[in-house]
Structure formats: structure tokens, C-alpha cells
């Protein structure tokens, strides 16, 4: 049996986020979505740094949260009230000052919950810099693609 395919593509997701979540405009670019997956790129800038010359924890948390949100929306459609119920992140190593990639994957997509993880890497080093476990609540009702 083949996995379910996304109902929203990169262009539709980008437009939808601009419409309902303009606060994240310019923070990350959706590079790809697939069956229960999403890949986002964060162009690291001075506003993302913390003392000590590294990407801040809140910036990495935001990328992980946004990547999982995009993965879920890609699969269920335009449902802006899909919300984080839990996100636990482990910071594994200091990332270099380079773009970060967030690779999200949904491990279980139910009617009311989505569970999965996000691995963050740097474009300069394939070793993970952070790993997040995520759970999202999906509101009841019909979905719009």
C-alpha cells in the first residue's frame, strides 16, 4: 500500500502561511513536501544568533515547530488551527553559522493528533545539530485542500 500523498504543495503552503501566519514570513523557506514529510531552510542571519556566535535555541525551536506544522498541513490541508501540543527538543551540537535545514516526518497521522519528529542540520555539516519530538492537535471537521 502506498503512503498518502500531500494535499498541499510547496506553493500552496507558502501562500497559506503568508495568509494566516504572516509572522513567519521571511523566517524559513519551504523547500519540499512529500508523503508525511517537509523540508524547510532557514537562512541564518544576525537576528538568529546568540552570544557566543551560534544560532539561538529559540531560533532552532521555531524552525522545528514550523517544519512540523508544514508537514501536517501538507497532509491535511488548510487548517490553521492545527496547533502544537508538545514539542521537546534536544540540542546536540553547536551549529556553524550557515543555513539550517529542518527535516520533518510524521510518524502517525490520526484524525485528532499527528506525532513525529524533526531533525535539524546545517548545510555545512550533515550531522544533526538538534532533534525534536512533536505532537500536534488537529481540530475536528472537514478538511480543505
Rounded to two decimals, the pTM is 0.94
Fold of 10-137: Thiol Ester Dehydrase; Chain A (3.10.129)
CA 42/CA 28 separation, integer angstroms: 4
Q: Delimit the domains of the chain by residue range.
A: 10-137
Q: What is the pLDDT of residue 90?
A: 98
Q: What is the pLDDT of residue 2?
A: 47
Q: What is the pLDDT of residue 144?
A: 60
* Cell numbers representing residue 51 in the block: 552570544
Beta strands in 1-145 (DSSP E): 29-34, 37-42, 49-50, 54-55, 83-91, 100-109, 113-122, 125-137
Tens of pLDDT along the chain (145 residues) come to: 347 899 999 999 999 999 999 988 888 999 999 999 999 999 998 888 888 888 999 999 999 999 999 999 999 999 999 999 999 999 999 998 899 999 999 999 999 999 999 999 999 999 999 999 999 999 987 666 6
Amino acid at each position: 500500500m502506498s503512503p498518502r500523498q500531500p494535499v498541499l504543495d510547496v506553493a500552496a503552503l507558502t501562500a497559506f502561511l503568508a495568509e494566516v501566519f504572516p509572522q513567519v514570513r521571511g523566517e524559513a523557506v519551504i523547500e519540499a513536501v512529500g508523503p508525511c514529510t517537509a523540508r524547510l531552510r532557514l537562512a541564518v542571519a544576525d537576528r538568529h544568533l546568540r552570544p557566543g556566535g551560534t544560532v539561538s535555541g529559540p531560533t532552532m525551536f521555531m524552525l522545528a515547530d514550523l517544519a512540523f506544522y508544514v508537514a501536517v498541513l501538507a497532509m491535511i490541508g488548510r487548517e490553521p488551527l492545527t496547533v502544537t501540543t508538545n514539542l521537546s527538543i534536544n540540542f546536540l551540537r553547536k551549529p556553524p553559522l550557515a543555513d539550517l535545514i529542518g527535516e520533518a516526518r510524521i510518524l502517525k497521522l490520526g484524525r485528532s493528533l499527528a506525532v513525529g519528529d524533526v531533525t535539524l542540520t546545517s548545510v555545512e555539516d550533515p550531522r544533526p545539530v538538534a532533534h525534536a519530538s512533536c505532537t500536534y492537535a488537529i481540530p475536528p471537521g472537514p478538511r480543505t485542500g
